[in-house]
């Protein structure tokens, strides 16, 4: 065999395991041959002893040789038995090392993929924080709360519709007065019952209205919004201030509803896995509690909890089904610290002939 093609040259954990199996197969074949030779030698010794006995005094020398042959056969059998036991111990240890290395390498790679997934999402959401603070100062948006007359509100709605046409990642943009009532929005044709809706009890509204300046924003975890036909959205909000001034008196709030489903699905499905890995791996985005926010298989969204170790930012663990869970908490991006969300990959073990 060309040495460059030998599995040991490519020193991956999988090749360590493959090499261990190759060595075990060779050892078993050779030990089998030794056992067969020892067995044949014992038979020859027995036959020689019988022949010597029949020969009487003339067979005494032959009998001595037969005894020695029998002794040698016993020694060969003992040595081969010891070698078999020692080889089995060594090969079992080598297999354990290979499996441990494979699990460590696989876990490290999956953790890196989990981090990459949550970083891509948070870079995306960082842009949402910029959008909402910018649009809160838009003249048409500010005027909608300064002079909430039908013509002014209609102009603001058309302005929001133009923004939505350019920024396709949003389902809708809402302008809310200081009491939490939606006075106008960007898609009245698609969501005709939004105007008049109260969001006064929503955290994103309360926190945005109470923010210290136009440099601040509020954000809520992903949730289904009844006003948007139950669609899952990530809502970002900022105070609309008098005169569009960053230090102006809050007049109300603009809430922008990020179309969570398709955007998140693009990220979890875009993680780089081989076709074989993809078939046995779930790529997940989780909130700080472990609630599934997005899943590459489309299952468990906003209903399933993945239990992660409390207070641990990154790592791997194996569940009761021997699946490897790799996870990484968001490090944030730029001025967006994130919400403590995680990227995670849940991978079932490889199916081998032995495991079937």
- The CATH number of residue 281's host domain is 3.30.450
Q: Is 167 exposed, middle or buried (0-12, 13-18, 19+ CB in 10 A)?
A: middle
Tell me, what's the pLDDT at 63? 66
Domain around 203? 136-263
Residue 217 pLDDT: 96
| pLDDT value of residue 3 | 44
Residue ending a domain, among 222, 237, 263, is 263
- Does residue 165 lie within any of the structural domains? yes
Query: Can you give the pLDDT at residue 13?
Result: 58
pLDDT of residue 101: 65
Question: Do residues 92 and 151 both lie within one domain?
Answer: no
- pLDDT recorded at residue 280: 93
How far apart (Å, rounded) are the C-alpha atoms in residues 286 and 166?
29
Domain membership flag for residue 67:
yes
pLDDT in tens, the chain (356 residues): 444 455 444 555 566 667 767 776 777 777 677 767 767 777 777 776 777 677 776 666 666 766 776 777 677 777 777 777 777 777 777 777 666 666 667 788 899 999 999 999 999 999 999 999 999 999 999 999 999 999 999 999 999 999 999 999 999 999 999 999 999 999 999 999 999 999 999 999 999 999 999 999 999 989 999 999 999 999 999 999 999 999 999 999 999 999 999 999 999 999 999 999 999 999 999 999 999 999 999 999 999 999 999 989 999 998 888 899 999 999 998 888 889 999 999 999 876 544 44
Q: What is the pLDDT of residue 17?
A: 63
Q: Does the residue 48 lie in any domain?
A: yes
Please tell me the total count of domains within the chain: 3
- Looking at the structure, do residues 11 and 32 belong to the same domain, yes or no? yes
Do residues 146 and 236 both lie within one domain?
A: yes
> What is the b/e burial string over 129-138, where b = at least 16 CB atoms within 10 angstroms of the residue's CB?
bebbbebbbb
Please report whether residue 118 resides in a domain: no
Confidence at residue 57, expressed as pLDDT on a 0 to 100 scale? 67
Match 């809708």 to its residue by tokens: 172
Q: Is residue 12 part of a domain?
A: yes
Same domain, 297 and 230: no
pLDDT for 4: 46
Contact 182/217 with Cβ under 8 angstroms?
Answer: no
In this structure, are 70 and 175 located in the same domain? no
Q: What is the pTM of this model?
A: 0.73
Q: Measuring CA to CA, which residue among 227, 232, 217 is closest to residue 262?
A: 232
Query: What is the sign, positive or negative, of the torsion defined by CA atoms of 168, 172, 175, 178?
Result: negative
Helix (H) or strand (E) holding 99: helix 60-135
Is residue 115 domain-resident? no
Question: What pLDDT score does 8 carry?
Answer: 44
Last residue of a domain, one of 239, 263, 287: 263
Cβ-Cβ contacts under 8 Å for 215 (sequence gap 6 or more): 133, 246
Sorted by sequence, the CB contacts under 8 Å of residue 125 that are 6+ apart come out as: 219, 234, 236, 258, 333, 336, 338
Whether 121 and 267 have beta carbons less than 8 Å apart is answered as yes
> Of all helices (H) and strands (E), which one includes residue 135?
helix 60-135
């Amino acid at each position: 065999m060309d040495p460059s093609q030998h599995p040991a040259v490519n020193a991956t954990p999988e090749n360590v395991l493959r090499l261990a199996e190759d060595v075990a197969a060779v050892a078993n074949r050779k030990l089998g041959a030794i056992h067969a030779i020892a067995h044949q030698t014992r038979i020859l010794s027995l036959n020689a002893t019988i022949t010597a006995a029949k020969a009487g005094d003339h067979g005494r020398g032959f009998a001595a040789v037969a005894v020695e042959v029998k002794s040698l056969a016993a020694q060969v059998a003992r040595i081969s038995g010891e070698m078999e036991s020692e080889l089995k111990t060594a090969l079992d240890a080598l297999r354990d090392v290979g499996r441990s290395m494979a699990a460590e390498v696989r876990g490290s790679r999956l953790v890196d993929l989990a981090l990459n997934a949550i970083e891509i999402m948070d870079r995306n959401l960082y842009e949402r924080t910029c959008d909402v603070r910018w649009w809160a100062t838009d003249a048409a948006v500010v005027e909608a709360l300064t002079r909430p007359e039908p013509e002014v509100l209609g102009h603001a709605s058309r302005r929001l519709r133009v923004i939505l046409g350019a920024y396709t990642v949003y389902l809708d943009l809402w302008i809310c007065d200081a009491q939490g009532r939606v006075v106008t929005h960007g898609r009245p044709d698609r969501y005709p019952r939004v105007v008049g809706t109260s969001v006064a009890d929503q955290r994103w509204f309360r926190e945005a209205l109470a923010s210290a300046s136009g440099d601040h924003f509020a954000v809520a975890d992903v949730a289904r919004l009844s006003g948007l036909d139950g669609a899952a959205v990530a809502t970002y909000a900022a105070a609309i201030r008098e005169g569009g001034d960053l230090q102006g008196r809050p007049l109300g709030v603009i809430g922008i509803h990020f179309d969570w489903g398709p955007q998140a699905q693009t990220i979890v499905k875009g993680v780089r896995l081989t076709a074989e890995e993809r078939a046995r791996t779930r790529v997940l985005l989780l909130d700080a509690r472990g609630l599934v926010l997005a899943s590459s298989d489309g299952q468990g969204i906003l209903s399933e909890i993945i239990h992660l170790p409390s207070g641990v930012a990154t790592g791997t663990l194996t569940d009761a089904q021997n699946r490897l869970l790799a996870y990484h908490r968001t490090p944030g991006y730029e001025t967006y610290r994130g919400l403590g969300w995680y990227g995670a990959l849940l991978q079932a073990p490889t199916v081998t002939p032995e495991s079937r």
